Amino acid sequence: MEMPLSIQGLLVTWDPQMGDPTIKSPDETVTVLIWQHARIIIVNGEVITQTLSGTGFFIITDAEGTVVVEQRSSGQGNSSQTVQATNGSTITGVKQTRN
């Protein structure tokens, strides 16, 4: 599979050692990328959930080249993030760094 992969206006790049993802799209608004130790869910062009464990990384950029999500794991732990908003709520500018 050629990198970066264009999904709903976002470019997804990942550690080649992770192999190629399985891509599931139940409809045109939802895309799920699945690796053995990672998962990304994109809905309407926005990353709503990502998880990564084991060794690897992925970087997701928008059409302007701005990094939307960058997640890396050295194999010593795991990490995940879910961004969720209900009707009438908005979440913007989520940025989190943890070690």
pLDDT digits (tens, 9 = 90+) for 45-62: 988 888 888 888 889 999
Q: pLDDT confidence of 8, banded at 50, 70, 90?
A: very high
Contact 21, 33 (CB under 8 A): yes
* Residue 87, token pair as written in the block: 């009707």
Q: pLDDT confidence of 91, banded at 50, 70, 90?
A: low
Q: Is the pLDDT of residue 34 over 90?
A: yes
pTM of the model: 0.77
Contact 48, 84 (CB under 8 A): yes
Question: What is the pLDDT of the chain when averaged over all its residues?
Answer: 82
Greatest CA separation for the chain: 41
pLDDT in tens, 59-80: 999 989 988 888 887 766 666 6
Q: What pLDDT does 32 receive?
A: 97
